[in-house]
Structure 1
Amino acid sequence: MPMFTGPLRGARWITRSTPERLIRVAVEFLEDAGFEQRHDGFDEKLRGRGSEWTAVALEIGDEEKSKRRALLGLVIDELPFPAPRAFQRVLSPTLVVVASRPVGPLVSELIVFPHTSRRGAPPYSRAAAPRVRDALEQITAAAGLEGAMLSHESLAGVPDDGSPVSQAVVREVLGWH
């Protein structure tokens, strides 16, 4: 696995659907990519703050295993054959926030945005990028097939504007660093 697999990017869609359905579809694609839903009351905490967003946080990676295997990875990367599964690198922790809100009658906005962590092996902090990219492509394809997509844009970053996908909210509400 290369040390840098490209930037972690998110995406934003405007679709003909409800926020709950958009969240459900996005979570399914991310779970298929290996992410696990966190059961930390994120949505309830947001509603307690008066947010109009519905949101879910998913995570992948293991802090300790990624650090331990980082040194072993230097040797494994030079092997002329694939390493046995027991020796393969473990992803550093990555959080993905899926958030949706209504923007009109039966029209909703969906944002999916990943956040790396300082925990784990730093050279591999973006190793989850291919998984995130695949899930985003599947969400886009699904919205296109249903004829529900009104607009789509790729996001290299998000402003700290109080939305659930912003770094400030992820840090304050989820304690993610």
Structure 2
Amino acid sequence: MPRSPHPQGSGRDARTSRLEYKGPWLGARWIVRSDSERLVRIAADFLTEEGFEARSDGFADSLRERGSEWTATALEIGDEKRSHRSWWRGLLTDELPFPMPHALQHVLPPTLVVASARPVAAGVAELVVFPHTSARGDATHARAAAPRVAAALEQITAAAGAEGAMLSHESLRGIANDGSPASQAVVREVLGWR
């Protein structure tokens, strides 16, 4: 099914209003009657609808080579350099005839989201989705992708609930460095994310 582009752009061109409420920075964990590959694919689809783009970094292959039980994918949004742009520069550089709306929108700083899943029992898998900010972008707006992440998490929860497959769900304010592909230690070591 073809997906419509996000109204505020996607990938490196994703923007957000400087005045928009950013909300809490959360991830989530679900236990679902499904298989790991399907869960990661579904999570990636919902994140893509919110403007995230899959990284072609061989993350899943790296995990397999390490003997990990997890299946995972990494998606990214934002741009390091353009996230530092001021609004007045936007007035001068955005395309005409309507530069003002783009000028008042902030280019998102780089944000990485990892969707990872592993089997926990026969026909049951654990899905973990967690976002990571980057020190490379505009620190003032480091969590500007929070509304997009929250929207994707809500859609994943609704989809699992609609299928009657969800066994449990919890929001995550942080994630332990326990070897999960969504943990800070793994994204730094395997993906070089800073």
Question: Could you say what secondary structure the match of 1:24 adopts?
Answer: helix
Query: Which residue in the other structure is 2:13 paired with?
Result: none
CA distance in structure 1 between the partners assigned to 2:148 and 2:39 by the alignment: 19
With structure 1 as the length reference, what TM-score do the two structures score?
Answer: 0.90
- List per-residue Cα deviations over 1:74-94 (Å, max 9, x = no partner): xxxxxxxx9322552100000
Question: Could you say what secondary structure the match of 2:149 adopts?
Answer: helix
Structure 2: where are the runs of 5+ without partners? 1-17, 91-98
- List per-residue Cα deviations over 1:14-73 (Å, max 9, x = no partner): 000010110111000000000000010001101111100000000000000001237758
With structure 2 as the length reference, what TM-score do the two structures score?
Answer: 0.83
Is 2:50 the partner of 1:5? no
Query: Which residue in the other structure is 1:168 paired with?
Result: 185
TM superposition shift of 1:2: 3.5
Query: Which residue in the other structure is 1:28 paired with?
Result: 45
Structure 1: where are the runs of 5+ without partners? 74-81
Query: Which residue in the other structure is 1:113 paired with?
Result: 130
Equivalent positions of 1:1-177 (< 5 A) are 1-2=18-19, 5-69=22-86, 83-86=100-103, 88-177=105-194
CA distance in structure 1 between the partners assigned to 2:87 and 2:39 by the alignment: 36
- The one-letter code of the counterpart of 1:153 is E
Identity of aligned residues (%): 65
- List per-residue Cα deviations over 1:122-166 (Å, max 9, x = no partner): 000000000000000000000000000000000000001111011
CA distance in structure 2 between the partners assigned to 1:70 and 1:7 by the alignment: 25
Relative to structure 1, the CA distance from residue 70 to residue 94 in structure 2 (aligned partners, 3 Å threshold; closer, same or farther) is farther
Query: Which residue in the other structure is 1:79 paired with?
Result: none
RMSD over aligned CA atoms reads: 1.8
- The answer on whether the counterparts of 1:3 and 1:124 sit within 8 Å (CA) in structure 2 is no
CA distance in structure 1 between the partners assigned to 2:107 and 2:162 by the alignment: 34
Moved over 4 A (4+): 70-73
Aligned residues: 169
